[in-house]
Structures are given as C-alpha cells and as structure tokens.
Amino acid sequence: MALQNFLTCPADCDTDLDLGAIPEEQDCTSYSQLDSQVSDLVIVPSGASDPLDWATPSAPTVNANPGGIDNTVTDNSASKRIVGEGEVPEPEEETMEYPKNKSKVVKRTYTVSYTVKQMDDDTYEFLRQLQCGWTGFTFYYANLAGYGFGPEGGISPTSVKAVMPLSGGRGDKQFGRIVITWEADGDPPRWTSPFA
C-alpha cells in the first residue's frame, strides 16, 4: 500500500514553505480549549458510496442518498457508524537522514484505539467479523469537539484488529475495542463534523 499523502510540502530545496496565519494574540484566557476524545468511527466498505457529501469540504454533510450510513444493511452497500470512546496517540515515526546532520520524518504510523460499550449480539458479531483482519474499507473518525478527520474518500487502513476482553472484577462491564492503523506523511485533514 502506498503512503497516504495528507500534506502539501515543498518538492525541492529551492521552494520555500509558506506558513499560514495564526492568531496574533495567544496569551489570553478567552479562547476555547477543544475536547479531543474520539467519539465516532465511520467505516466505508469498498463497495459503498462515500457517506459524506463534500460540496463544502470544510463542513461535509452526511449523504442522505441510499448507500450513505445505514447500520442495518448486511451486504457492505452502506457505511457503518459506531459511537464509542477512543484516542489517536502520537504516531510512530520513520526518519531519513540528510547531509549536515539534518533529518526528516518520512512516514508516520497512526493508530486509533476505539472502545465500544454497546455490546448487544449484533455488535458482538460485528466485532468478531473485524477480527478477520479485513482492510477492504476506508474510514473517518470524529471527536467530541465537533471535528471530523480524513480526506475525501476516507483513510485507508494498514491493519485492523478487534478484541473483547472479559474483566474479572465484580461489576465490570463488557466492552469491545477496535484498533486500526494507517500510514501517512502527516495528520489527516480536519473538518467540521456532521455527527452530533
């Protein structure tokens, strides 16, 4: 699988990287600090249409047409949306060395670890299916701050696993965990999420 390119970087040493604008005043207490927890995971099987309408790339909407998001289908004709709790920690990085003691990160391996607490029979079977290691899909994720992540068409995974441990403590609850990894040159694009 080819490295996913989410960044626009200079192609040679003769091209400068122009930094964009950022807030002029930053030492105040009047800006919002954003929640980071991943709250939505959308899996788009390779046979399904993109569930997002990208007419406005900064704030795509959920495609209302057939083939959007439909958790009831069983034939990969639509995307699945899973609500849970997750994280995307710092990626593992691969660097390349250059002359004069310079180096550059050339690949980042990301992981989303996603906990599912609704463990009804259908969700249990869904997680068992993910234990096959199937990567024939793309995906998006969104967080509690109201942002979604991924390019148009979604992020391509390099590996998938699902686990459903049973803890031994009195009153412990069942849960499942989906772990998806992907490789890219940088973090995916961010947009205003249609999932609330």
- At 23, the pLDDT band (50, 70, 90 cuts) reads confident
Measured from the Cβ of residue 67, the count of other Cβ atoms closer than 10 Å reads 16
Give the model confidence (pLDDT) of 85-134 as tens digits. 999 999 999 999 999 999 999 999 999 999 999 999 999 999 999 999 99
Could you tell me the pTM of the whole model?
0.92
Fill in the DSSP letter of residue 96: E
pLDDT at 18: 87
At 15, the pLDDT band (50, 70, 90 cuts) reads confident
101: left (phi over 0), alpha (psi -120 to 50) or beta: left
Q: 3, 91 in Cβ contact below 8 A?
A: no
Place of tokens 């993109």: 50
CA distance 49 to 52: 9
- Please write the tens of the pLDDT for every residue from 63-85: 866 668 999 999 999 999 999 99
